[in-house]
Amino acid sequence: MITVLFGGSRPQGNTAQITKYALRDHEYNWIDVTTYQLNPVRDYRHDKEQINSYEDDYQLLIDQLLASDTVIFASPVYWYSISASLKAFIDRWSETLMDDRYKDFKQQMADKDFRLILVGGDCPKIKAKPCITQMKYTLNFLGATLHGYIIGTAERPGDIMNDTYALERADEWNETIKS
């Protein structure tokens, strides 16, 4: 199963367009993380408290991610990073590492095909590089790998469909990604 974790502020914007284009021949689970309630991360690393419940939508989202074979993070580039909503979801992985119900979390994550789609308007093929590095380090910490990324350039609505480089990469993904 393919799951898209979408972190854009425009559900029909350029990031959504290129992501849907890349997956046009596949079935996938689309999760718009901006529509879910995610509380701030609880850091109990140095306390005796345990993580064993969530009072927001996090567990629903992490369980869907863990049920997936391929996970695609899709985000506009905001201030040289992924969106705050997507980052808030990833920050919560720290809690999952401390939750006894997810003892094999790292192994489950290591087995996933992680990919990243980024779209920006101000030289994103250069300025999105810190974001790619951030995602690589994040996944490497869990023993996982970022297997590919697409960086698209778009200023105005619909511009992404004029980015031939991003469209070519999306065509490659459409042919090679496993459903």
Quote the CA–CA distance of 25 and 169 in Å, as a whole number. Answer: 15
Q: What is the pLDDT of residue 51?
A: 83
Residue 133 has pLDDT above 70, yes or no: yes
Report, as an integer, the average pLDDT of 115-121.
97
**Residue ranges with strand state E in the chain:** 2-6, 29-32, 70-76, 113-120, 146-153
What are 80-110's pLDDT values in tens digits?
899 999 999 999 999 999 999 999 999 999 9
Q: Does domain 2-46+53-176 have CATH number 3.40.50.360?
A: yes
Contact 31, 71 (CB under 8 A): no
CB-neighbour burial class of residue 83 (10 A; exposed 0-12, middle 13-18, buried 19+):
buried
Residue 48, both tokens: 């005796």
Residue 11 has pLDDT above 80, yes or no: yes
Long-range contacts, stretch 35-41, CB < 8 angstroms, 24+ apart: 36/60, 36/61, 38/85, 38/88, 38/89, 38/92, 40/88, 40/91, 41/88, 41/91, 41/92, 41/94, 41/95
Report, as an integer, the average pLDDT of 25-44.
94
Beta bridge partners of 151: 118
Residue 162 or residue 45, greater confidence: 162
What are 140-152's pLDDT values in tens digits?
999 999 999 999 9
Closest to 15 (Cα-Cα) out of 96, 70, 75: 75
Contact 162, 14 (CB under 8 A): no
pTM: 0.94
Give the number of other CB atoms < 10 A from CB of residue 113.
17
Which DSSP symbol is given to 39?
P
Which strands, in side-by-side order, build the sheet including 70-76?
A: 29-32, 2-6, 70-76, 113-120, 146-153
Q: Strand 29-32 relative to strand 146-153: parallel, antiparallel, unpaired? A: unpaired
